[in-house]
Amino acid sequence: MNFTIRDATKNDMPSVLALIKELAEFEKEADAVEVTINDLQKDGFGDQPAFKCFVAEANNKVQGTAIVYNRFSTWKGKIIHLEDLIVSQKMRGHGIGTALLDKVVMYGHKLGVKRINWEVLDWNKGAIKLYEAKGAKILRDWDVVHLDEKGIKNYISKLG
């Protein structure tokens, strides 16, 4: 399978959004995606981009993506967070996921980060196997905490 990994462009964002929606369906959260093409273009390619996006292209079509952003660890210093690594379901098993992960790790190394963080669902055995084979540690004793938009508004309203 011939494919290339490259930096995403604004013009790739419709394909990236399609992959995000495909991932949401895979994760049984099809209705959870609120981000739009405009959001991705504005937030990823403005004066202060909120994220860096890589894409995997095969047969002149975006078949995978990896989205990362900068974070800071009070224990380690500069780190990056891999928000999502997505490969179109029909293209899995061809090395695209590994190539995208390689690109993210090289990017983090170039930035001089001390760690790369991401989450994986405990039932996503294929992804877990890939990450562990690459030397990543799955921290099973940590829980992810989210305060969603409604929760933020409720929190603020209680501050009085």
Side chain identity at residue 57, one-letter code: E
pLDDT tens digits for 38-92?
999 999 999 999 999 999 999 999 999 999 999 999 999 999 999 999 999 999 9
Beta bridge partners, 85, equal 66
pLDDT at 40: 98
Q: At 7, is the pLDDT very low, low, confident or very high (cuts 50, 70, 90)? A: very high
Q: For residue 32, give Cα distances in angstroms to 28, 29, 53, 127, 150.
A: 9, 5, 21, 21, 14
11 or 127: which leads in pLDDT: 11
Residue 53: closest CA among 119, 128, 45:
45
Side chain identity at residue 140, one-letter code: R
3-class DSSP assignment, residue 100: helix
Catalytic residue from among 69, 107, 131, 155: 131
pTM comes to 0.93
pLDDT tens digits for 103-159?
999 999 999 999 999 999 999 998 999 999 999 999 999 988 999 999 999 999 999
Query: At the top level of CATH, which class does the domain 4-159 belong to?
Result: alpha beta
In whole angstroms, give the CA distance from residue 89 to residue 110.
30
Q: Does an H or E element contain 43, and which?
A: helix 37-45
Does 160 score more than 90 pLDDT?
Answer: no
Active site includes 155?
no
3-class DSSP assignment, residue 75: coil
Domain ranges of the chain: 4-159
Beta bridge partners, 52, equal 68
3-class DSSP assignment, residue 140: coil
Strands 115-117 and 77-87: parallel
Q: Look up residue 82 and give its two tokens.
A: 């891999």
